[in-house]
Amino acid sequence: MTIIGFVRHGVTAWNKEGRAQGSSDVPLDEEGIQMAEQVADRLAAEQWDIIYTSHLIRAKKTAEIIAAKMPGVGLVEDARLRETGGGLVEGTTEAERIEKWGEDWKLQDMGFETHESIVSRGLESLDEIKKKHAGERVLVVSHGSFIKRMLNELVTDTMYEQSLDNTSLTIVQLSDEHNICQLFNCTAHLQKTVEN
């Protein structure tokens, strides 16, 4: 059985502005880097064997910060772990979309990456990871919408609709019979206060 720990990247300026990021290469802001440091401290205290990451800079930087606190743990970049392609809406806020395309913009062809494309590339990557790292604990640093789609494909007894928080940890146990979500959207590392 293989354990996958999905980590969403740290926060970006576009996250805060409510801008659709998709495949746009938006960097972490200062708070995002600090959040990545916090999740790195948490994960360094646990046993993980290897880290895989999306090639987009916000995920890759988060993964590099995590890897820096885990000497000897490899880091592998995989473009198939990237965020869902957002087509024409990337870089826009909801208000800007309504102003540009009207209230029914979601019904128009915005050039979004198809669900089939996202699931196909994502499951292909995760299947390779499962085979290559059987019995290991693997971190996958990626993106909110992508992770949620993968979770709903891997764990079919529950529908995961809640958005994932930045640097949240979601752990899935993969087995040939039945995949189990052991932890969902956990951000306990962000709530830690300095103890006297």
Q: Which of 30, 31, 55, 83 is catalytic?
A: 83
Active-site residue (options: 9, 90, 143, 189): 9
For the chain, the DSSP string reads -EEEEEEEPPPBHHHHHT---TTS-PPB-HHHHHHHHHHHHHHHTS---EEEE-SSHHHHHHHHHHHHTSTT-EEEE-GGGSPPP-GGGTT--HHHHHHHH-TTGGGS---PPPHHHHHHHHHHHHHHHHHHTTTSEEEEEE-HHHHHHHHHHH-TTS---SPPPTT-EEEEEE-SS--EEEEEEE-HHHH-----
User: Is 105 assigned to a binding site?
Assistant: no
Say whether 42 counts as a known binding-site residue: no
* Residue 10 is assigned to a ligand binding site: yes
Whether 9 has a binding-site annotation, put simply, is yes
Residue 179 to residue 142: CA distance in whole angstroms: 20
Active-site residue flag, 83: yes
Annotated binding residue at 12? yes
**Catalytic residue status for 31:** no
Ordered strands of the 74-77 beta sheet: 74-77, 50-53, 137-142, 2-8, 169-174, 180-186
The answer to the question of whether 39 is labelled as a binding residue is no
134 is in an annotated binding site: no
13 marked as part of a ligand binding site: yes
Positions marked catalytic: 9, 83
User: Which residues define the annotated binding site for substrate?
Assistant: 8-15, 58
